[in-house]
Each structure stands twice: as C-alpha cells, then as structure tokens.
Amino acid sequence: MIEPFDDTYFMKKALNEAEIAFEKGEIPVGAVIVIDNKVIARGHNLTEQLNDVTAHAEMQAITAAANFLGGKYLKGCTLYVTLEPCQMCAGALYWSQISKVVYGARDLERGCINLKTKLHPKTTMEGGVLEEEASSLLKRFFVMKRNLN
C-alpha cells in the first residue's frame, strides 16, 4: 500500500494528467504542484490542442498554481512532473522560485540536466520517481504515432 502524501502518491497524480494528454493525442507529460500535501494545480501537455509550443504540462501547472496562490512565486511548492523539464520549463521554474522539482523519466536529449539549465539556487530536484511508468507511457505513445504515419 502506498503511504499517503509521499512522492509516489503525487507522481501518480501527475501520471493521471499524462494519461489525459495521451488520450488527447498530446505527448503524454503530466504535472501537479503541491503545497502542504495538497494538490493546488494540475497540467498536461496541450501544445497540439492549443497550437502553442509553450503549452507544456509544467507551464500549465505553474500558471494554475500562481493563480491559486495569487502570486508569481511558488516558494514552499513542489512540482511533480512525469518527464524531466526541458530548458524552457526549467527557466520558468527558475523564475517561479519553486522549492522542489520531482520528475519521473529523464529526457536525455532535451532535458534541463544535460543542457545544464540551472534551476533557482534554493530549488532542489529529484528524479526517477515512477520512472518506469512514465517512460512506458511515452514509449507507447511514440510507437502508436509511428504506426499511424
């Protein structure tokens, strides 16, 4: 049984968002933002639906969290995202001053770690939470896309 309010619990919420993206034909990345063990924002990729290259899951969640909190800074918040943030999202996370980022799967090609994109000095980052589930969903999506083309 999963202990409530641990990283796995919240990453499952992010995976639920990724599943929604998958069903919409979007790259299946999902995100939730948590403060005081409460999910205050959710997001999933909407780049195809909105015809907007910036409509990544993290960006959707950052905007929703800022609206919920009534301010642009996300101090005390944790982002759970199924895929390591890209450079653009890492930049937005930097400016939001989010306290912690927890991701599932690494993005060895476009992720912020290999591209050496810095997060805010007070932001901590941890990876590999439900990595296999997140990777599996992404692989299934791209296999499906290749088979349709």
Marked catalytic residue, from 17, 58, 109, 126: 58
H or E segment to which residue 123 belongs: none
Beta strands in 15-142 (DSSP E): 30-35, 38-44, 78-83, 100-105, 124-126
| 112 labelled ligand-binding | no
42 and 62 Cβ atoms separated by less than 8 Å: no
Closest alpha carbon to 13 in 38, 35, 31, 29: 31
| 77 labelled ligand-binding | no
Q: Is 19 a catalytic residue?
A: no
Nearest-angstrom CA–CA distance, 63 and 60 = 5
| 89 labelled ligand-binding | yes
Binding residues for Zn(2+): 56, 86, 89
Q: Would you please indicate which residues are annotated as catalytic (active-site) residues?
A: 58
